[in-house]
Amino acid sequence: MKAAIFPSHPVLLVDDEEQFLASASFALRSEGISNLVLCQDSRKVLDLLSAEKYSLVVLDLVMPHVTGQELLAAMVEGWPQVPVVVTTALNEVETAVECMKAGAIDYLVKPVDATRLVTTVRRALEYGEVRKENDLLKHYLLSDKLEHPEAFREVITASGAMRSIFQYVEAIARTSLPVLITGETGVGKELIARALHRLSGRSGEFVAVNVAGVDDTLFSDTLFGHRRGAFTGADRDRKGLIEQAQNGTLFLDEIGDLRPESQVKLLRLLAEGKYYPLGADMPKLSDARIVVATHRDLRALQQTGSFRKDLFYRLQAHHVHIPPLRERPEDIPILAAHFLEAAARTLGKKPPTAPKELFPLLQSYPFPGNVRELEAMVFDAVSRHKGGTLSLETFKDRTGRKEKSAKDEGRCRESDSKIENGQHAPTFPANLPTLKQAERALIREALRRAQGNQTLAASLLGISRRALNNRLSRERRRTRE
């Protein structure tokens, strides 16, 4: 029987040293990576890429005729979907950093250990497959409804609500009116702002600044700049961020924390399109698009007088509200899988296998920190991971879902004071259910949320697995009788 070819598209090895090509191809073929193309002349690389699809390129940096750095730049521009691993005999941190910034996904120093080479190539191939799957998923979900789904490439989602937001962002992207983006901490407000800028067609830069806790002088100097002599130490003119964002987008994060005196200046900028650098007598014109974001309730802040109503109405010419992660639980599995791959890649580990209980466990947690909290949770778990299947213990600690013993049940009930005193009391129909009926309903709901996983359902109910099993057994006996 003919040996299977792996991967389906070849791996391109580029190096001017024949000995390296021979040893590398032998090491890879010995481990089942048999679909290889060897290239000793760097001048032929771009023609090879144009003629055929490749799964991966392993590229030497120091070669005659065309250097690896030049080829890397051309590949990132022309074939961004093809992962690149660079090799070089120059053991310099600066070189590695430059290559990673330029688009390489990994870096090997010669002489390359055979095991390390195989591990790196396999990881790069897996990374390419994951990226291809993500691209296909995004295309399936978005391409029939969005004109430019690539603008949202940083936002990983399968949520219909998020796709509706993408459509709205596309519709408003080319207007010059301000945009207010609201949502809880960690939902990805800046990612939406960046997508908005990419779709705007503006030639200027995207400039972001967090205005929380910034006093009025610093706000004015940061945004509007100053003239020489405006204050002690101002020995030369300084451009503000609003000028750096000319014909681009100025993103002001945490706008709900902006000081009242600074709100007046921002209102003037929005109303007139003009601003005064500190120490200047003549105003400057600005055509930067203003996009702001906050996790706070601006309407409530108006009631207390800490946020101006006129500024609020100016800012919400367009309003994008991003739902929290708990309202789009369908995103949790794909985000967790993405972060598992990203964490493994960042930490230089093999991507761990996720246990089947992981996603139901995460979907039962409210995630007050949203996507950012999920990312931190996954990175922490992968950093502790040693091998094999990923442990659930870190996730249980973070979500408060550790299985409780019978002894702990009493303490668990005492800790739920908010429910007991009515702050978060559930609603009931006019005819109250009996205790037995309420217990059965709670167990059914816990099992539904846990997708049938009894250990997780028990933790949601605050009881031990054995206690839940006893209740289920009694219910089964009662049903048979």
CA distance 444 to 450: 10
Say yes or no: do domains 11-113 and 149-323 share a fold: yes
> How high is the pLDDT of residue 137?
46
Of the candidates 292, 333, 307, which has an alpha carbon nearest to the alpha carbon of residue 210? 292
Q: What is the pLDDT of residues 301-325, one digit of tens each?
A: 999 999 999 999 989 888 999 999 9
Return the CATH number of the domain spanning residue range 149-323: 3.40.50.300
| Class level of CATH domain 330-399 | mainly alpha
Percent of the chain with pLDDT over 70: 89
- In order of 204, 317, 321, the CA distances from 308 in angstroms are 29, 15, 20
* SS3 annotation, 267-298: HHHHHHCEECCECCCCCEECCCEEEEEECCCH
CB 382, CB 390: distance < 8 Å: yes
CA atoms within 13 A on the CB side of 448: 6
Give 340-375 as a DSSP string.
Answer: HHHHHHHHT-PPPBPPTTHHHHHHTS--TTHHHHHH
Q: CATH topology for 406-420+433-480?
A: Arc Repressor Mutant, subunit A (1.10.10)
Dump strand ranges (E) for 89-198.
106-109, 179-182
Indicate if the pLDDT at residue 426 is higher than 90.
no
The pLDDT-based confidence of 1 (bands split at 50, 70, 90) is very low
Over range 62-74, report the average pLDDT: 91
Q: What is the pLDDT of residues 427-480, one digit of tens each?
A: 777 777 888 888 888 888 888 877 777 877 887 787 888 888 888 888 777 777
- Measured over all CA atoms, what is the biggest interatomic distance in the chain, rounded to whole angstroms? 92
CA distance 275 to 244: 14
Tokens for 205? 């830069």
Q: CATH topology for 11-113?
A: Rossmann fold (3.40.50)
Residues forming a β-bridge with 225: 239
Q: How many CB atoms lie within 10 A of CB 94?
A: 8
Give the start-to-end residue ranges of the domains of the chain. 11-113, 149-323, 330-399, 406-420+433-480
Q: What is the pLDDT of residues 204-233, one digit of tens each?
A: 999 999 998 788 888 888 899 888 887 777
Helix (H) or strand (E) holding 59: strand 56-60
CA distance 230 to 236: 9
The pLDDT-based confidence of 144 (bands split at 50, 70, 90) is low
3-state class (DSSP) for residue 29: helix
> How high is the pLDDT of residue 249?
95
